Amino acid sequence: VLQHLEPLLDELERFLRVRQSGIDWLKLRLQHRSHPPTRLDLRLATAELQASHFAELLSLQLSRITLPAPVLRCELRSGVLQAFVAQSESVWRPGEHGGGAGRESPALIERLRARLGSDAVYGLCLVPEHRPERAFGIAEPSAAPPRSTAQTWWTARRPLWLLREPEVLIDAPQGLQLLEGPERIETGWWDGREVARDYYVARDGSGAEIWVYRERLPPHAWYLHGVFG
């Protein structure tokens, strides 16, 4: 299939170069005689114009699927044209000395999406929410995010790793050394997901630092909600 796609990709690259433009998505439609067409969507982290780059990512996507029948026709559709800015080599590694991410960062995002699927690769962003489990949202992954101006809605120390669901600590607070807290969170009454909790940074019997909370309403149960690295 790729062999027959190469002329189309080369033509696309020439078209983009003449206009000094790139694209950040590409749709491939493979027509079969007696089966529905096979469709592949290629989403790029940054605008690109190189045929070889498109071919590499399409090859990764094609390796994930089994075509139901021989391909009779190939059709490519691209996203809207965007100004293309060639990436220059940097003396510093990505993120060093205040520098942005290098070219390998968007390439990594694109390869992961091609291999795992577009919906499997995403970024996280802060949202204005006091409940820890709802304080992050899904965002488009960015290879070179701007300096964050997002306001954090807390001042106490919190872990990056939260459990999917808080776990009940039956014997707490016995066996825990409470190091910091309480951080009181009372919110959510307006949407039916009300919480009233006192959070603590604690150390368990193995010496690990964990994030626990005590329900302020009866029966005042204790829960493990996060772990510090």
Predicted confidence (pLDDT) at residue 148 exceeds the cutoff of 80? no
The pLDDT confidence band at residue 118, using thresholds 50, 70 and 90, is confident
Q: Pick the residue with more confidence: 24 or 127?
A: 24
Predicted confidence (pLDDT) at residue 92 exceeds the cutoff of 50? no
Half-sphere CA count of 1, side-chain side, radius 13 A? 26
Residues contacting residue 69 through CB under 8 Å, at least 6 positions apart: 32, 33, 34, 35
What span, in angstroms and rounded, lies between the C-alpha atoms of 202 and 227? Answer: 10
Task: Answer for the pair 84, 20: CB distance below 8 angstroms, yes or no.
Answer: yes
Q: Pick the residue with more confidence: 137 or 195?
A: 195
Percent of all residues in the chain with a pLDDT value above 90, rounded to a whole number: 53
pLDDT of residue 26: 93
The pLDDT confidence band at residue 142, using thresholds 50, 70 and 90, is low
What is the rounded end-to-end Cα distance, in angstroms, of the chain? Answer: 46
The pLDDT confidence band at residue 138, using thresholds 50, 70 and 90, is confident
pLDDT of residue 146: 47
Q: Which residues pair with 43 in a beta bridge?
A: 25
Distances (CA, A) of 71 to 11, 23, 38, 57, 105: 20, 25, 9, 19, 33
Q: Pick the residue with more confidence: 75 or 105?
A: 75
The pLDDT confidence band at residue 124, using thresholds 50, 70 and 90, is confident
- Residue reference for tokens 């009300």: 194
Segment 154-191, tens digit of pLDDT: 678 889 899 999 999 998 889 999 999 999 999 988 88
Quickly list DSSP for 57-114. Answer: HHHHHHTT---SS---EEEEEE---EE--PPPP-SSPTTGGG----THHHHHHHHHHH
